[in-house]
Each structure stands twice: as structure tokens, then as C-alpha cells.
């Protein structure tokens, strides 16, 4: 489990692959309905110290509450 963070830890412009979630069945199902599934690549559009984390996934921008974003485990991707 090398270099894994939560979605709330990433800065604007960073991309990451969703690895897993911390939550119950209903929580996971709701995220999947929004297109947030393990293996999916997300890009952080905005992550201010206060307020939601804005991400782009599958061509759609979503605002995710900070508490929810902190339960989404991701693996950052780095440009080479």
C-alpha cells in the first residue's frame, strides 16, 4: 500500500486512482452512482481548506463534502 492518501489530502490539479472506500453498503452505492468506483481516475479541481472538494470524474465535475472525501482512499498519479 505504497503512497496512498484520501481524496481530501490531494491538492488542486492532482490526479489519483480510487482504491477503496471506508463506509457501509449505502455509502459505497451512493459513491458508485456518482461515478466514483475503484479503479476510476479522478482529478481534483479545487480543494480549499474549508468547504467541499471539487473533482472531475468521467467528464463531470462533482462537489464532495470533506467528510466523504476523507473516506475515499486513493493512489496519487504523477506525470512523468
Q: What pLDDT score does 2 carry?
A: 60
Average pLDDT over residues 5-29: 93
Q: Which residues contact 52 (CB under 8 A, 6 or more apart)?
A: 63, 64, 65, 66, 69
What residue spans define the domains of the chain? 5-77
Is residue 1 over pLDDT 60?
A: no
CB atoms near residue 58 (< 10 Å): 12
- Is CATH 3.50.50.60 the right assignment for the domain spanning 5-77? no
Q: What pLDDT score does 6 carry?
A: 95
Average pLDDT over residues 7-30: 93
Band (29; pLDDT cuts 50, 70, 90): very high
Average pLDDT over residues 16-41: 92
**φ/ψ of residue 33, rounded to 5:** -65, -25
**φ/ψ of residue 73, rounded to 5:** -85, 130
Average pLDDT score, the chain: 91
Amino acid at each position: 500500500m505504497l503512497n496512498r492518501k484520501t481524496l481530501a489530502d490531494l491538492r488542486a490539479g492532482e490526479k489519483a486512482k480510487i482504491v477503496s472506500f471506508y463506509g457501509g453498503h449505502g455509502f459505497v452505492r451512493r459513491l458508485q452512482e456518482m461515478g466514483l468506483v475503484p479503479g476510476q481516475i479522478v482529478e481534483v479541481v479545487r480543494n480549499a481548506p474549508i468547504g467541499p472538494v471539487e473533482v472531475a470524474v468521467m467528464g463531470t465535475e462533482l462537489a464532495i463534502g470533506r467528510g466523504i472525501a476523507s473516506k475515499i482512499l486513493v493512489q496519487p498519479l504523477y506525470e512523468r
